Amino acid sequence: MLECTVDGIEMHKKCSLLQQSPACTLDYASEGSELSVSDASEVIQEVRSVERASSAAGRESAGKRPCHAAQLGPLDSPRSSRHRRVTVDGSSQAWWLGPTALAGQSFHRDFSLVEGRKGMLGRGTFGSVHRCIQNGEGGGETYAVKVVKLNRYEDRQAVGRERRALEKMKGASCAVQLHRVYAEQHAAFLVFELLENGGTLEELLVRQSGQRLDQASARHLCRALLQAVAEVHENGICLLDIKPANVWVSAEELPQVCLLDFGMAHEFVPGKAVRLAARSALAGTPAYMAPEIIQANLSHCARSRFTAFNGKKADAWSVGVTLYQACFGALPFQPPAKALDPIREMSLLHADWDAMARSDGGISTLDGLSPTERHFWRQVLACDPAERPTASELLQHPFLRS
């Protein structure tokens, strides 16, 4: 990731201008169905350099303090073999991970990265994800590891948020399970279970090639994703970065859904707004970002460094866009090359559904649907958050209960 020289937001390496406004919507993962070998090699080299720096720092401090490993408690509900203990290893200065992060072993001593095309699993908002294999006696098991380079204060905050959120989701089948966290001087390594026998919703969309899902499949997918998000909300967490690349779908006749990326997750108090720094609020993916978040930043960023919004309603919008794309094979409001413009216009002008249908990239695909199904999409993609139900409320909609 690079940093925009105008707005200070994170930019993808494929952006050659580095002077884009918050309207930049380049999604690195969606530029192709998979990363090239050169891209994967570049990331592996970055990780190797981080490991060498961490190893050197560890040798320098070896005689200064003893090494410890803090074990967090066992999972409250061991519902399956994939719900295991979580270990945090790292520096005693890793205050952003909480008091359990003590000095400990380094990631590259306990795990080996799988190199090449098979080793690169993807890239998220705050880090790259790789396949890795556990070393030592009793090793050989394969995991996924997110590597976050700790170049900025925001990177440490993101790792701490993700770890705290996933601690709350221990034992929940709707969330990827965290196995171990390594906090080193130059990088954090979050080791997750490796989900197999399935793939991301983004991969499903590639195979779907713009084709619509049949109504039964669409209804099941809507229900499954809304149930997963509602369960996360019940634990006092909003995700703020729901999109196809962050949703894993099992390869079953009735697929199960698992949420993958908690890097943007924030804890919230029921009945109170989520309050974020304006820069952090725009760190998600614009095509899936709720209009009220964009509106707040466009309207108030000159007067305030913070924005407040209902996290559950913001997630509901992202779920709506994600589900719409999965069910109809296209984004609801995105014309080519101007992905954010319709959302900005609708948000600022409070445009209604008729205006949306007339705009470029409008929701013309709702024509021909049953009144019940059409009403469902109107609700989940309501521009006004006051008129948009939450995930748990949407589960009661007649379209999903039929």
pLDDT in tens, 129-182: 999 999 987 778 999 999 998 888 878 888 888 999 999 999 999 999 999 999
| Fold of the domain spanning 33-193 | Phosphorylase Kinase; domain 1 (3.30.200)
CB neighbourhood size of 298 (10 A): 16
Q: Which two tokens stand for residue 225?
A: 């994703």
**187 vs 126: CA distance, rounded Å:** 11
| Fold of the domain spanning 198-401 | Transferase(Phosphotransferase); domain 1 (1.10.510)
Instruction: Give CATH 3.30.200.20 domain extents, the chain.
Output: 33-193
Nearest alpha-carbon partner for 353 in 332, 330, 322 = 332
**72 vs 67: CA distance, rounded Å:** 16
Q: 306 pLDDT band (50/70/90 cuts)?
A: low
Read off the pTM: 0.72
Average pLDDT, rounded, for the chain: 73
Q: Which residues pair with 71 in a beta bridge?
A: 87
- For 81-131, what is each residue's pLDDT tens digit? 444 445 555 544 454 565 444 335 688 889 999 988 888 888 766 778 999
Q: Which two tokens stand for residue 383?
A: 């521009």
**99 vs 160: CA distance, rounded Å:** 11
Q: 351 pLDDT band (50/70/90 cuts)?
A: very low
What secondary structure, in 3-state letters, does the chain show? CEECCCCCCEECCCCCCCCCCCCCCCCHHHHCCCCCHHHHHHHHHHHHHHHHHHHHHHHHCCCCCCCCCEECCCCCCCCCCCCCCCEEEECCCCHHHCCCCECCCCHHHHEEECCCCCCEEEECCCCEEEEEEECCCCCCCEEEEEEEECCCHHHHHHHHHHHHHHHHCCCCCCECCEEEEEECCCEEEEEEECCCCEEEHHHHHHHHCCCCCCHHHHHHHHHHHHHHHHHHHHCCEECCCCCHHHEEEECCCCCCEEECCCCCCEECCCCCCEEEEHHHHCCCCHHHCCHHHHHHHHHHCCCCCEEEECHHHHHHHHHHHHHHHHHHCCCCCCCCCCCCHHHHHHHHHCCCHHHHHHCCCCCHHHCCCCHHHHHHHHHHCCCCHHHCCCHHHHCCCHHHHC
**46 vs 94: CA distance, rounded Å:** 22
**75 vs 172: CA distance, rounded Å:** 10
pLDDT: which is higher, 345 or 18: 345
Instruction: Give CATH 1.10.510.10 domain extents, the chain.
Output: 198-401
Nearest alpha-carbon partner for 72 in 197, 215, 216, 170 = 170
**68 vs 92: CA distance, rounded Å:** 9
Lowest mean pLDDT among 3-7, 246-250, 360-364: 3-7
